[in-house]
């Protein structure tokens, strides 16, 4: 494997892990950062909290699954 092939595999997985980590941090602390308003608790902004956590998990999961799928399908 060359450096380019490794970066096409590792970089998306690292980004997915970071997205999962941030979603987990928001879930554990029960807070989310709202643009222009700062950190808000789940009780202060429940729709934003759940929307942010769900979107982060879906994007991270989609990126992870697509990276693994295309790696197995095309065997870079």
Q: How confident is the model at residue 15 (pLDDT cuts 50, 70, 90)?
A: very high
Does residue 45 fall inside a structural domain?
Answer: yes
- Show the domain range for 47: 11-74
Q: How far apart are CA 29 and CA 69, in angstroms?
A: 33
Does residue 21 fall inside a structural domain?
Answer: yes
Does residue 26 fall inside a structural domain?
Answer: yes
Q: How confident is the model at residue 76 (pLDDT cuts 50, 70, 90)?
A: low
What is the separation of C-alpha 18 from the centre of its chain, rounded to a whole number of angstroms? 6
Does residue 1 fall inside a structural domain?
Answer: no
Does residue 68 fall inside a structural domain?
Answer: yes
Return the bridge partners of 41, or none.
31
Which tens digit of pLDDT belongs to each residue from 31-73? Answer: 999 999 999 999 999 999 999 999 999 999 999 999 988 888 8
pTM recorded for the entire structure: 0.84
Does residue 53 fall inside a structural domain?
Answer: yes
> What's the structural domain count of the chain?
1
Does residue 6 fall inside a structural domain?
Answer: no
């Amino acid at each position: 494997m060359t450096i380019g092939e490794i970066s096409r595999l590792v970089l998306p997985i690292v980004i997915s892990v970071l997205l999962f980590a941030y979603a987990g941090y928001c879930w554990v602390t029960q807070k989310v950062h709202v643009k222009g308003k700062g950190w808000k608790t789940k009780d202060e902004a429940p729709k934003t909290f759940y929307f942010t956590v769900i979107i982060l998990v879906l994007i991270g999961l989609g990126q992870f699954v697509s990276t693994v799928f295309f790696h197995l399908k095309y065997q870079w």
